[in-house]
Structure 1
Amino acid sequence: MGTHVRHPMWLSAVRPAGARTFASLYATESFARATVSSVIPIQAYEILQNEQTVSILYTVVSLLGLSVTLFMPVLIRRFARRWVYTAGACLLAVGSLFFITHTLFGQMLGMLCRVMGASALSITLNLYIMDHIRKTDFMRSESLRMAWSMVAWTGGPTMGIFLYTHFGIYAAHGAVAIFAFVLLGLFWFYRLSDNPLIAAGKSRAVNPLANIGRFISQPRLRLAWLIAFGRSCFWTTFFVYGPLFMVIAGQGEIAGGLLISAGNALLFMAIFWGKAGKRFGARPTMTLAFIAMAIALFAAGAVGTAAPLLTGGLLLCGAFFTIALDALGSTVFMRSVHSYERPQMAAVYRTYLDFSELTPPMVYSVVLTFFGLGSVFVTLGCLMVVCGIVTWRYVPKSM
């Protein structure tokens, strides 16, 4: 009797995890990341005073973050999911401390903490989702998760820019720390780690290089990675080069924040795209999205700084179709991965985000040597065409 612990009554009243559980966690995490999503590139530009050097900075940070992502299964097996998730939330808060130094070294460390934290949160949350949500419900669950995050990604960037320009660097990054600690409280309230469906992996630990080989050997997983990489490349470009474009085109920092918020306001369309995917099938819906994104990007590149507001509108058009891929794209991975290797394959799959933050700035730093800022959008449009063709060719009709 002496070892028996009585938990408070409200703990036993927590509902089993469902689509809304993960939607609320993701929405809170989105607030922690979205608040400074448009502040960070502007802050980097203030420090470096050159858009090409900003691209190089993002490239270096993404390279460092990639190695952390690949070793995430090792961390999960060593420390358990709940502690990796907790560490991810804490890293977002720690990153804020580095950002407020407003130095190049602090900027790099802050960006690295942000990348590492996002990686830990993304991988562990996806594992929890696959444990609790039935495969047939993935499309609905993912579209709901995107729609709930709409508030964060709509109001966050503008709020961050407002805090940064009116109250200073401490206010903008302090807000991130607050959201990170709210996320921690919510996560532990849900007690996801106590769910009996979640059990430790029975397979032996596999090194990251072997995981990569195993992932590449499965065509469906390669396809899921490419789809996720393509849409994430759009968001990386939109978040980094959208605000930069508005500043360089003379529209100001607030215009950059408003552009990001307007693009994210479209996230409520995730529910519409989820229904469209169920009605018409994932393959034609995702193919349409990629091709429409390409057309919008080519037009944005052609217009460029000649009409900045029109270019911004074309980028928003591209964002509208990208949300279809946010709502439907991850279902290709979730329906294809084997249950016994989810942690290992989820970590490799998550590298799409690292590569999407690494590859575009690296390519753009070369392209910008020869062409103007509009060339960034044209280059991205070419990738969208490739992704659209591959999606139409290889995504099964039954998916």
Structure 2
Amino acid sequence: MATQVRHPIWLPALKTPGAHTFAILYAVESFARASVSSVIPIQIYDILRDEQAVSLVYTGVAFAGISVTLFMPLLIERFARRWVYTAGVAGLILGALLFLTPWLWSQMAGMLCRVMGASALSITLNLYIMDHIRKTQFIRAESMRMAWSTFAWTGGPTLGVALYVNYGILAAQAVPIVTGLLLLCLFWFFRLGDNPMIRPGTTRPASPLANIGRFLRQPRLRLAWLIAFGRSCFWTTLFVYAPILMVSTGQGELAGGLVVSAANALLFSALIWGWAGRRFGARNTMSFAFFATAAMLVAAGIAGEAAPIAAAAFLLLAAFFCIALDALGSTAFMRSVHVWERARMTAVYRTYLDLSELLPPLVYSVTLAFFGLGSVFVTLGLFVATCGVVTFVYLPKKM
């Protein structure tokens, strides 16, 4: 029959996918995305020559990204998960090819392809992790995954900009294309299997609105989303407002880039926070991380434009503590979601990423109308502290 395939004898000898498998896939995927993360806004600005117009483009793509994320379960339930993952890689590659063109519409199409690809990869990889990693090993696996992505998010943006400036757009966009092909080869080499409980095409998929309603009716999923949203708001704020602080106070663009790169370099500490989570419990560690991050943010806000170097130091300390939430935060979701609705709930859960890019700038636009740039970090610090209180009160002690 056409469905019967004779595999080479060495394939069955592959080890069962484990924490290292997903750490490798995530590290390669991260490099494919990080390498042009700083190049894309430069390309868009070169076309529009207007900062506000660039912001509007990113806002429009972010709104589209939320819709794509919410509809992703329809694809996962209709097709085998491995094909959705493959389509996600293809989205990253197609996006890079579109960025080689000089038109605004094609640049926006490339951004949307990247969003669609990242959404498909994030959701399917999380589903694979929940299938192959025992609940008791989630903390170890997630901390390892974050640590292995350190190089990608530290060196990737710098490499992409250097290639773009010195060798042009083709050299910069060649990196995600080549890395995407490598990721595709690795994925099929590891031969990750689908969860038999998720059968494509056997039931009528629920609508995105129904999925949102189901998600909101589960307190633990709401809490997991808040934890993820809180930490994502920190990184969004750091990437945007730390460079602005450095430039506006005369420290220079290089200083702003160094702050962001140094914060990303601290991702290796995810292994330390993974150990702390296993030793002291996820609830205690995450609550402490929220409160410590909030304290450093408030200190950075107070230092603000009067003492930008001190503010940068406090922001780096905040990043160190926030990495604990990167290493441990997703375990709250993975341990709470029901097996039979993982695909649908994972899609809703991932909206924290899109909303963290939309909501904080709207709030900051209000505070900046009355106060200085330091108010951004103070405002975020108060919200992060609130997340810490909610986490300590409502997250189960044995989580």
TM-score, normalised relative to structure 2: 0.91
Structure 2 letter corresponding to 1:153: W
What CA deviation, in whole Å up to 9, does each residue of 1:238-268 have, x standing for no partner? 2233344444444444444332221111111
Contact 2:77 2:198 in 1 (8 A): no
SS at match of 1:9: coil
SS at match of 2:273: helix
Contact 2:131 2:195 in 1 (8 A): no
Structure 2 letter corresponding to 1:320: F
What CA deviation, in whole Å up to 9, does each residue of 1:244-295 have, x standing for no partner? 4444444444444332221111111111101111111111211111122222
Distance 1:250 1:45 in 2: 22
Distance 2:47 2:28 in 1: 29
Shift of 1:36: 2.2
Find out whether 1:205 has 2:205 as its counterpart: yes
SS at match of 1:16: coil
Shift of 1:2: 10
Distance 2:77 2:387 in 1: 34
Between stretches 324-333 and 51-60, larger displacement belongs to: 51-60
Between stretches 160-169 and 26-35, larger displacement belongs to: 160-169
Which residue of 2 is the match for residue 181 of structure 1? 181
Report how many residues are paired: 398
Distance 1:64 1:77 in 2: 21
Structure 1 letter corresponding to 2:274: G
Between stretches 127-136 and 5-14, larger displacement belongs to: 5-14
Structure 2 letter corresponding to 1:71: F
Which residue of 2 is the match for residue 345 of structure 1? 345
Q: How do residues 1-399 of structure 1 correspond to structure 2 at under 5 angstroms? A: 5-44=5-44, 53-101=53-101, 104-193=104-193, 199-200=198-199, 204-399=204-399
Shift of 1:123: 0.4
Structure 2 letter corresponding to 1:348: V
Distance 1:33 1:10 in 2: 32
What CA deviation, in whole Å up to 9, does each residue of 1:271-320 have, x standing for no partner? 11011111111112111111222222223233334444333322211111
Identify if the C-alpha distance between structure 1 residues 11 and 146 changes in structure 2 by more than 3 Å, giving closer, same or farther: same
Contact 1:36 1:172 in 2 (8 A): yes
Distance 1:223 1:2 in 2: 47
Contact 2:31 2:153 in 1 (8 A): yes
Identify if the C-alpha distance between structure 1 residues 3 and 103 changes in structure 2 by more than 3 Å, giving closer, same or farther: closer
**Tell me, which stretches of 5 or more residues in structure 2 are unaligned?**
none
Contact 1:56 1:365 in 2 (8 A): no
Contact 1:157 1:257 in 2 (8 A): no
Structure 2 letter corresponding to 1:139: I
Contact 2:198 2:340 in 1 (8 A): no
Distance 2:247 2:294 in 1: 24
Shift of 1:64: 0.9
Between stretches 13-22 and 129-138, larger displacement belongs to: 13-22
Shift of 1:47: 5.1
The percent identity for this pair of structures is 66
Distance 2:353 2:313 in 1: 25
Distance 1:256 1:22 in 2: 32
Distance 1:244 1:161 in 2: 18
Shift of 1:54: 4.4
Shift of 1:150: 1.2
Contact 1:158 1:258 in 2 (8 A): no
Between stretches 337-346 and 93-102, larger displacement belongs to: 93-102
Identify if the C-alpha distance between structure 1 residues 46 and 384 changes in structure 2 by more than 3 Å, giving closer, same or farther: farther
What CA deviation, in whole Å up to 9, does each residue of 1:352-379 have, x standing for no partner? 1111122123333444455544333233
Structure 2 letter corresponding to 1:185: C
**Tell me, which stretches of 5 or more residues in structure 1 are unaligned?**
none
Between stretches 210-219 and 285-294, larger displacement belongs to: 285-294
Larger RCO, structure (CA 8 Å, separation 6 or more): 1
Distance 1:53 1:294 in 2: 32
Structure 2 letter corresponding to 1:295: A
Distance 1:315 1:309 in 2: 10
Distance 1:344 1:89 in 2: 21
Indicate the RMSD between aligned Cα atoms, in angstroms: 2.5
What CA deviation, in whole Å up to 9, does each residue of 1:298-353 have, x standing for no partner? 23233334444333322211111111001111111111111111111111111111
What CA deviation, in whole Å up to 9, does each residue of 1:29-51 have, x standing for no partner? 11011112233345555555565
Contact 2:197 2:340 in 1 (8 A): no
Contact 1:99 1:107 in 2 (8 A): yes
SS at match of 2:335: helix
